[in-house]
Amino acid sequence: EKEGYDYFMIKEINEQATAVRNTLTEKSTIQEIIDDLGDISRICFVACGTSFHASITGKYLLESIAGIPTDVILASEFKYSANTLNEDTLVIFISQSGETADSLKALDLANKTSKTLGIVNVAGSAITRRADYVIQTQAGPEIGVAATKTYVSQLTAIYLFAALIADDEKLLEDVYKVPDFIEELLKEVDSIKAMSKKYKFARDFFFIGRGYSYPIALEGALKLKEITYIHGEGYAAGELKHGPLALIDEGIPVVVILPPGENHRKTMSNLEEVKARGADILAVGSKEDERLKLKSDDLFAINDDVNEIIAPLVYIVPLQLLAYYVAVEKGLDPDKPKNLAKCVTVE
């Protein structure tokens, strides 16, 4: 069933435009859920791993676009804040499998006080049966242990939810363009293959981004750790000076996520800080960003119409590809990373 691809992971990376398109068809279901929910005074996302990173993007969106105070809590830490929830809080569980033990445990707790919504890929899974409301992501089955197409599908559901709550037509329009942007960039994998060859012997990688690009950095680092066994750390770009800058040295690869938008100028100065200390800059930015071309050692360039708000849905793809090709270069099986299971059913 790999349909000519070497691994499920690369097949699933290539299915992402379709996964987003199919999840966009959930729009009317999401509108119905919103209408039924009525006023929500607070939202709390609960998830693990990649689904947790999608949740962080959800917090940024719901707070800035919809003005709803939103928390993000790791499912395994949820019980420590559960007693601040009440009936006006909507608790959203994001999960590919719908069976993650930490998330299920948290869902049972949340159900005692609050309305609950699951954003889940596997139909009929435990979370879909126990949550009050369900949005089904339409990624189709994901076999690779590393979450890829289910991540962009989770994000698609979250963007639809936020745009519909806020009645933000412009955001909706932008999200509908995402599949085309993904298809466009998937035609340019050669530059990523070259980067993988160059950096496969690195021991440490840093990923930095600001605002909406911060969870992209976290997710890029998780993909790298998970399948290449290289140490990767995702940091909020502004946090570098508060510690990790001490680790930046000659030849350390730093992946800088720099979509066009409000945060560009500040992240560019963070890029300069690490560059001045000898880091190799692997940038992901706009095709029209001439300054970035000059400042980076390697650049993966993306359509200039992908602004920083929708960047999480698009800019993650080259980072998935980077992790994938580094794993393949190292002779590792990206579909079956050691010590990990697709679905974590113990707490």
Contacts with ligand M6R by CB under 6 A lie at 48-51, 95-97, 100, 103, 145-147, 222, 226, 343-344
User: What is the nearest approach in angstroms of ligand M6R to the Cβ of residue 103?
Assistant: 5
User: What is the nearest approach in angstroms of ligand M6R to the Cβ of residue 168?
Assistant: 26
Judged by CB, which is closer to ligand M6R: 48, or 192? 48
**Cα–Cα distance between 283 and 42 in angstroms, integer?**
36
Judged by CB, which is closer to ligand M6R: 145, or 321? 145
**Cross-strand pairs, 70:** 43
User: What is the nearest approach in angstroms of ligand M6R to the Cβ of residue 230?
Assistant: 15
Judged by CB, which is closer to ligand M6R: 226, or 308? 226
Please give, one letter per residue, the 3-state secondary structure of 315-339. CHHHHHHHHHHHHHHCCCCCCCCCC
User: What is the nearest approach in angstroms of ligand M6R to the Cβ of residue 244?
Assistant: 22
Sign of CA dihedral 25, 31, 32, 34: positive
* CA separation, residue 49 to residues 80, 92, 147, 205, 245 (Å): 18, 15, 9, 19, 25
User: What is the nearest approach in angstroms of ligand M6R to the Cβ of residue 56?
Assistant: 13
Three-class SS state of 346: coil
Judged by CB, which is closer to ligand M6R: 137, or 263? 137
User: What is the nearest approach in angstroms of ligand M6R to the Cβ of residue 344?
Assistant: 5
Judged by CB, which is closer to ligand M6R: 48, or 306? 48
Three-class SS state of 235: strand
User: What is the nearest approach in angstroms of ligand M6R to the Cβ of residue 189?
Assistant: 20
Count of Cβ atoms closer than 10 Å to residue 197 Cβ: 11
| Segment (H or E) for 285 | strand 280-286
Judged by CB, which is closer to ligand M6R: 283, or 317? 317
Residue nearest to ligand M6R (CB): 49
User: What is the nearest approach in angstroms of ligand M6R to the Cβ of residue 242?
Assistant: 26
Judged by CB, which is closer to ligand M6R: 48, or 216? 48
**Cα–Cα distance between 163 and 253 in angstroms, integer?**
36
DSSP one-letter string for 50-119 = HHHHHHHHHHHHHHHTS---EEEEEGGGGGGTGGG--TTEEEEEEESSS--HHHHHHHHHHTTTSEEEEE
Judged by CB, which is closer to ligand M6R: 51, or 286? 51
Q: What is the CA radius of gyration of the chain?
A: 19
Three-class SS state of 168: coil
- Contacts of residue 85, defined as CB under 8 A and 6 or more positions apart, other chains included, come to 44, 91, 110, 113, 114
Judged by CB, which is closer to ligand M6R: 248, or 316? 316
- Give the burial class of 70: count Cβ atoms within 10 A of its Cβ; 0-12 exposed, 13-18 middle, 19 or more buried: buried
User: What is the nearest approach in angstroms of ligand M6R to the Cβ of residue 327?
Assistant: 13
DSSP 298: E
